[in-house]
Amino acid sequence: MDKLNVIKVGGAVVEDTASLELLLNQFAFLDGNKVLVHGGGRRATKIAASLGLESKMVGGRRITDSDMLSVVTMVYGGLVNKTVVAKLQSLGVNAIGLTGADMDIIRSHKRPVQKVKLNDGHEEMVDFGYVGDVDKADGKALKALLANNIIPVIAPLTHDGQGTILNTNADTMASTVAKSLAPFYDVTLTFCFEMPGVMHNPEDENSVIKLINAKTYSKLKAEGVISGGMIPKLDNAFDALSKGISRVVVTHYNDIAAKNGTTIV
């Protein structure tokens, strides 16, 4: 079975020109089949603030009202996505920018109001607004692109099939894409960002946790070592492993080829 790398890059890397170019140069030189899934949350937050819109986060996930939906659609599907595609084209990578609505590759439903446990331990009902929870992904459509040497670059937006765009967590998007392609490829899913992996102490680059299993994950969450946006990232990692993904890695954006960092098992 052919190998496939699904690389997810976070918003902090996307926002910094030098970091993004470093990552894309590495991505361009990755051998074989590959897909890039990007975030852009920090850029969306910055542009929303310039428009007088406050960004609200709960459990590492963005609450998306109608105004914020307009912002994330423009930023994720437009500014960030097409910038990445243009840079990859300059590196000789024949990339195509997609959201979940394009080719109907990822369909979702609007997240219902639900009870969420906050960092301080108490729970409350939260309406996330126009946020999508994934229902299905079309791996065959993505495989058809890859078979023609077209590299998908996917923004964290999906649709409900009824004409509504939905903001969807980029880590979830990457995991969904990886799972949809697992029947056709030997898939490695790599989450890369500005840190060298999952860390005991974010201030100490030598504190990378090399290996995390389900038991370790529960313990680190309970201790508060793993919190915020890292929680949905690792939730998606474990879900991907249960659905046929060969390997999940969390690492620095400058290390996607070496595959160092934290391995999830």
pLDDT greater than 70 at residue 23: yes
3-264 CATH pick, 3.40.1160.10, 2.40.50.140, 3.30.1950.10, 3.40.50.720: 3.40.1160.10
pTM score > 0.85 for this model? yes
Q: How far apart are CA 32 and CA 43, in angstroms?
A: 30
Nearest to 9, CA basis, from 29, 35, 33, 44: 35
Q: State the pLDDT at residue 233.
A: 81
CA nearest neighbour of 177 among 4, 19, 51: 4
- Residue 25: half-sphere exposure toward Cβ, Cα within 13 Å: 8
Structure tokens given for 90:
């300059």
**pLDDT (tens digit, 9 = 90+) per residue, 162-173?**
999 999 999 899
Q: Is the pLDDT of residue 258 over 80?
A: no
- Of the listed ranges 28-32, 34-38, 101-105, the least confidently predicted one is 28-32
Instruction: Give the torsion through C-alpha atoms of 166, 11, 38, 248, to 10 deg.
Output: -110
Q: Are the beta carbons of 170 and 38 closer than 8 angstroms?
A: yes
One-character DSSP codes across 26-42: HHHT--SEEEEEE--HH
Pick the residue with more confidence: 234 or 97? 97
Residue 78 has pLDDT above 90, yes or no: yes
Average pLDDT of 187-209?
Answer: 90
Place of tokens 């989450």: 191
Cβ atoms 89, 95 nearer than 8 A: yes
Q: How far is it between the farthest Cα atoms of the chain?
A: 50
So where are the chain's domains?
Answer: 3-264
DSSP H helices, the chain, are 11-15, 17-28, 41-50, 66-74, 81-90, 139-147, 170-181, 214-222, 230-242
Assess whether pLDDT exceeds 70 at residue 119. Answer: no
The span from the CA of 132 to the CA of 73, in Å, is 13
Residues 26 and 213: their CA atoms lie apart, in Å, by: 28
